[in-house]
Structure 1
């Protein structure tokens, strides 16, 4: 049997061909091994350009590309689980309900989970009422406007539902869902956010570049991730924020490196001081990453310390290059 790429008429990828061949060989490894091999081979595109992604974010009921460029191997079933909820399918289509799902591949009586990876399905924006989803106040996006080609100012079509139970879900090796929560409505659950996985991929490449240049990236902290329109307008320190901030569209974050745990940027350039020059060290890494990965091009601004926070670097994937020196919050 042949597994075909979605929309293809006959192409068989090496991953699927190898799995199908193994299933028909008399000396084939165990089914448990085959399911592990299938997941490793077929899931690799979903790890992103960094190879560090641990989640796929999409609308319910839509094909899970690029986790599989193929239909499943013969006899295989994809199984999704989220708490007590479960879904099974012979095609890799996301569950029809919002949630954070684990994925496993089943062949016969053997089942093998895709380790350290989640499929996150969104709650439709059409469920928002008077600026709220449930008790969580989001506000309303400005009317969509025409910007540069490839840059969207359309309101989000769906939101990630974040609960106390799933907030520690890893989006990548260094970032969790909770890192991108706005800083208001602390006691309101569930919360709803927007995160573009391309941003996380870019962040991971920046951290990898810093490591290659002698800087330990494990202390990365997100100062500001997603912002609801109402928070962007008045929450925290609004100085320096754009009315159409990319933070509202889920493709921007402000980060700093804090390996000593004091809540401030570290002395990344080793000049004995902590200031905006340390934010520029991260900017230099962003510049190198964008040259190597033009699909992740975007904005990068550096900010000096205020009474509320230390220096930080804004990173986004807006689709065109932008650089600036800012004040307040980005």
Structure 2
């Protein structure tokens, strides 16, 4: 037990030595099957949706909640907030007076998918999702809505180390743009960022080479029909810290940047995948070499099944 605590303490010291702060607080909230103890977190909701969240503290402890809209207290330290009827972003702040810690919760109301006409949404090309869900799995049904992103929203922190702009589809277009994103992907990226730092590899935030892809864009680059990017549950990432040159760092310290560095990062993640904390983040892990357009990178997703390539 003492040895385990020593290892944890050393990992935390290494993480902070690199200047990385995970952005965690001393309590957590649970919602939509996820739990977060980050100082800022985001959720994606339908218009007028009843959003229920739980504050994971003793019921006797005082909590302060402020922000837009009314929050109704329910039994068991659960709270209910009704999303507005129109798309946009609202914020709630949940504060623990005993420590001063607080969580800011971004609540994004989506534009309903039924507003997509002939593959277009307010001038933005979405394209068409596959007519049949892959293996009849619900996660491959067309998304129920899209997050409308205007230029002034790009710097919104979704979590402590990831911003809204990082997940936008790469297809050329004017604003507004539209996005699909899963909360679990945000939590997985934060988890991996912290763990990679603890393993001795400094990273402030993964470079997200590709986050959300519209079906239109996914088809244009000849990617797989059921790519998880189209459902906001995947990211192609690499580490670019030293030097910051737009490509993967020399992670294995062999004096060159190539697929072996992506393999090195993937092997780290495989080690994390053996731990209980990783269970909720099970998904795909792929390794890619460089080409004339990009350097080496890895793919991670939250499909719920272990897939490797």
TM-score (norm. length: structure 2): 0.77
Match of 1:246 among 225, 228, 231: 228
Q: How many residues align?
A: 268
Q: Is 2:160 the counterpart of 1:173? A: yes
Residue 272 (str. 1) matches residue 258 (str. 2)? no
Whole-angstrom CA distance in 2 between matches of 1:173 and 1:129: 35
Aligned to 2:298: 313
State the match for 1:135 in structure 2.
123
Give the corresponding residue for 1:20. none
**1:145 paired residue number:** 133
How many angstroms apart in 1 are the aligned matches of 2:259 and 2:66?
48
More strand by share: 2
The within-5 A match list for 1:286-325 is 286-292=269-275, 293-324=278-309
Residue 222 in structure 1 maps to residue 202 in structure 2: no
Structure 1, unmatched stretches of 5+, are: 1-39, 82-86, 107-111, 325-330
**Which has the larger Rg?**
1
Is the CA contact 1:302–1:314 (under 8 Å) kept in the aligned structure 2? yes
Task: State the partner residue of 1:63.
Answer: 50
Within-5 A mapping of 1:1-330: 44-45=29-30, 51-52=37-38, 54-68=41-55, 80-81=67-68, 87-90=69-72, 92-96=80-84, 97-104=86-93, 115-147=103-135, 152-186=139-173, 188-235=174-221, 238=222, 241-259=223-241, 260-292=243-275, 293-324=278-309
Deviation at 1:231, TM superposition (A): 0.2
Identify if the C-alpha distance between structure 1 residues 278 and 131 changes in structure 2 by more than 3 Å, giving closer, same or farther.
Answer: same
Gaps (5+ residues) in structure 2? 1-24, 74-79
Q: Distance in 2 between matches of 1:253 and 1:280?
A: 16
| Deviation, structure 1 residue 302 | 0.5
Deviations 1:75-104 (A, max 9, x none): x996544xxxxx334353242222121214
Aligned partners of 1:55 and 1:143: how far apart in 2? 30
**SS of equivalent to 2:308:** strand
